[in-house]
Every structure is written in structure tokens, then in C-alpha cells.
């Protein structure tokens, strides 16, 4: 029996199992139920003393209940004297509210960070946390947070499945440059970044210098696809400029509201995401990136 145990929360049992196999550790799902009044029941293995315990749970879908589940599970793990407690949060919810845009708003990125700090886990590993105004997650979660990227797993997928001989990488807005540059470097391609102007909570305008895109295939990469509005507008702009095949990839396929159907109806050549959040397009495993970071810690 291994001295390392990987526990899977209800949103990430698939990923916890894959991670356990990658690091040659034991695996067990956490027991999660709902009481009749809607409160959450959690039960973790009782025999944890002396073990390194890795708890894996994404905070999507249903971020509010996932947060409660995660905090209850981590606290129970700590109570049962695990030697080391590592929280793997593939998708960190509430990170996008990182500033008080209007007076009186809760800055949820800092609130969630303080809650994680209060449990005193040894490490938090997250994947491509949405970082815009806060560029270092240590500001919100403390020095024990590790932010790994799933873009390199997307790059491997592109290499194995797409013809990139006449392709260019595109970031759909300014925030996506960090991911576009990584993928372009991995693939040995040029990249450019579009500009986004938000009109409302669901409506955006995308524009920008398109460079020499006519007749070339476009590989759009972003961290999150939520409602899909930005991607739809970027695809329209690229096609209007004469782009050839359009491929869309993301790390976190939230695909809320009608996003999946809107994107399918764009007749994209490729629509793929990682499995940080399970969705119809979650075809790329992110476990290798998480496992590499865990091997550095354990």
C-alpha cells in the first residue's frame, strides 16, 4: 500500500484517478451526499495518519456547492492527521472577481484565498488560474500555491491531431496572450492577439490587426470558454479576413448557457478543451501537468 493517497471530489473523480495512476499512488473517491435540508455530507477515509493525501476537486460545475464540499473534505483530512495535505483545484472558481469594480462589491478572489489559507493545507495546485489584475496567485492564496498550465497538454494535442504547416496561433483578447505565446512557442508558429471591448455581461466586440491571416489556418487558444461570446466574435472576424480552417482550444471549457451549441453551429474544424471541467469537448487530459508538479512536491 502506498504512503500517498489521492482522493477524488465529486467534480474530479476522473482526474483524481488519472493523477493517482501517473504518480503510482492509491486512489479513493470521497463519499459525498446531500442531507434532506440541502446541507452537504462528507466522509473521507479515517486511516490517514502518516500519509501524504492529495485531494482533487474542481470548483465547476456548481461552484458554491463545490466550495463547501472542498472545504469540508480538506478540513476532515487535516483532522485525521495526514502527514501532508495537498489540494488540487483544477479550476479555481471566483478568481475573476479580483477587484472592487463598483462600490460595495465582494472581491471574491481574495475571500476564497483567505478561506483556503484558514484550512492550512501544505500546498494548493491549480491549473491556469484566471490572472489579470492579480498576476501572482500567491497574493491571494499564500506562498504554498502552485499555478501550472494546461496549455502544453493542448499543444501536444494539436501536434498529434492537426496539420499546422500553414497555421497561426490567435489569442482572442489581450488576456489570452500568455496562452497564445506558450502554444506558439511549443508549435514553432507565429501568433497575434485580438482586442476585446465588453459591451455588456454577455456581449463583446472583438477587433484587431489580423496580420497575414488570409488563406492560413487559425488556432484560437484561451484559458476559459464561458458563454462563448468572445470566441464566436473572434471566429467571425478571422473568417471575414479570409482565414482558412479555424480550430478552437481552451483549458477550462465551462460552456455555460448556450455556449456549446453556439460554438458547434460555427462549424469549427476543431473544438477541444482539457478535462479540468468535464464537458462535451473535454478531450485533453491535464493529469500529466498536475502529476509533474506533484512529483516536485512529494
> Strands 246-253 and 52-56, how do they pair?
unpaired
Q: Above 80 in pLDDT, residue 23?
A: yes
Residue 85 pLDDT more than 90? yes
Q: How confident is the model at residue 200 (pLDDT cuts 50, 70, 90)?
A: low
Instruction: Name the pLDDT band for 52 (thresholds 50, 70, 90).
Output: very high
Cα–Cα distance between 97 and 134 in angstroms, integer? 10
**pLDDT in the model for residue 149:** 96
Rounded to whole angstroms, the Cα distance separating 215 from 239 reads 10
Output phi, psi for 97, to 5 deg.
-90, 80
pLDDT score at 97: 78
In tens, the pLDDT along 287-296 reads 999 999 999 9
Number of Cβ within 10 Å of residue 212's Cβ equals: 11
Q: Measured between alpha carbons, how far is 298 from 292 in angstroms, rounded to an integer?
A: 10
Given this model, what pLDDT does residue 44 score? 96
Q: Is 196 a catalytic residue?
A: yes
Answer whether residue 48 shows pLDDT above 60. yes
What pLDDT shows up at residue 63?
A: 96
Residue 202: count other Cβ atoms within 10 Å of its Cβ: 11
> Would the CA dihedral through 187, 193, 198, 199 be positive or negative?
negative
Report d(CA 294, CA 124) in Å as an integer. 10
**4-149+286-297 CATH fold:** Rossmann fold (3.40.50)
Q: Is 226 helix (H, G, I), strand (E, B) or coil?
A: coil
Q: Are strands 52-56 and 84-89 parallel, antiparallel or unpaired?
A: parallel
Reduced 3-state DSSP string for 246-276: EEEEEEEECCCCCHHHHHHCCCCCEEEEECC
Catalytic: which of 159, 196, 236, 245? 196
Q: What whole-number distance in Å separates Cα of residue 148 and Cα of residue 70? A: 20
Structure pTM? Answer: 0.92
Say yes or no to pLDDT of 199 above 60: no
Nearest to 155 by CA among 129, 131, 178, 188: 188
Instruction: Identify the band that residue 9 occupies on the pLDDT scale cut at 50, 70 and 90.
Output: very high
pLDDT of residue 76: 95
The CATH number of 151-275 is 3.40.50.2020
- In sequence order, the 6+-apart residues with CB closer than 8 A to the CB of 101 are none
- Grid cell of 251 as nine digits: 483549458
Domain spans of the chain?
A: 4-149+286-297, 151-275
pLDDT value at residue 212 = 77
Distance of CA 194 to the CA centre of its chain: 21
- 143-193: pLDDT as tens digits: 789 999 999 999 999 999 999 999 999 999 988 999 999 999 999 999 999
- What's the pLDDT band for 130 if we cut at 50, 70, 90? confident
pLDDT tens digits for range 214-254: 899 999 999 999 999 999 999 999 999 999 999 999 999 99
21 pLDDT more than 80: yes
Which residues does residue 4 pair with via DSSP β-bridges, in sequence order? 52
Amino acid at each position: 500500500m502506498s504512503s500517498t493517497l489521492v482522493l477524488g471530489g465529486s467534480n474530479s473523480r476522473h482526474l483524481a484517478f488519472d493523477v493517482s495512476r501517473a504518480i503510482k499512488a492509491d486512489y479513493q473517491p470521497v463519499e459525498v451526499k446531500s442531507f434532506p435540508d440541502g446541507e452537504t455530507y462528507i466522509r473521507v477515509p479515517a486511516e490517514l495518519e502518516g500519509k501524504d493525501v492529495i485531494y482533487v476537486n474542481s470548483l465547476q460545475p456548481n461552484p458554491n456547492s463545490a466550495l463547501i464540499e472542498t472545504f469540508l473534505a480538506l478540513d476532515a483530512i487535516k483532522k485525521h492527521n495526514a502527514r501532508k495535505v495537498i489540494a488540487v483545484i483544477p479550476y479555481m472558481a471566483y478568481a475573476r472577481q479580483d477587484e472592487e469594480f463598483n462600490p460595495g462589491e465582494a472581491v471574491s478572489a481574495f475571500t476564497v484565498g483567505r478561506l483556503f489559507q484558514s484550512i492550512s493545507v501544505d500546498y494548493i495546485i491549480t491549473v491556469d488560474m484566471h490572472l489579470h489584475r492579480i498576476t501572482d496567485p500567491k497574493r491571494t492564496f499564500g506562498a504554498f500555491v502552485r499555478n501550472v498550465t494546461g496549455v502544453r497538454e493542448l499543444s501536444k494535442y494539436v501536434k498529434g491531431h492537426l496539420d499546422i504547416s500553414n497555421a497561426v496561433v490567435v489569442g482572442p483578447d489581450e488576456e489570452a496572450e500568455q496562452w497564445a505565446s506558450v502554444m506558439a512557442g511549443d508549435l514553432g508558429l507565429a501568433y497575434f492577439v485580438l482586442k476585446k471591448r465588453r459591451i455588456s455581461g454577455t456581449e463583446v466586440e472583438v477587433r484587431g490587426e489580423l496580420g497575414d491571416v488570409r488563406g492560413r489556418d487559425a488556432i484560437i487558444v484561451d484559458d476559459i470558454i464561458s458563454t462563448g461570446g468572445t470566441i464566436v466574435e473572434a471566429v467571425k472576424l478571422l473568417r471575414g479576413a479570409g482565414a482558412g480552417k479555424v480550430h478552437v482550444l481552451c483549458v477550462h471549457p465551462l460552456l455555460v448557457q448556450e455556449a456549446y451549441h453556439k460554438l458547434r453551429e460555427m462549424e469549427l474544424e476543431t473544438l477541444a478543451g482539457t478535462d479540468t471541467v468535464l464537458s462535451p469537448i473535454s478531450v485533453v487530459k491535464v493529469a500529466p501537468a498536475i502529476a509533474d508538479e506533484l512529483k516536485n512536491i512529494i
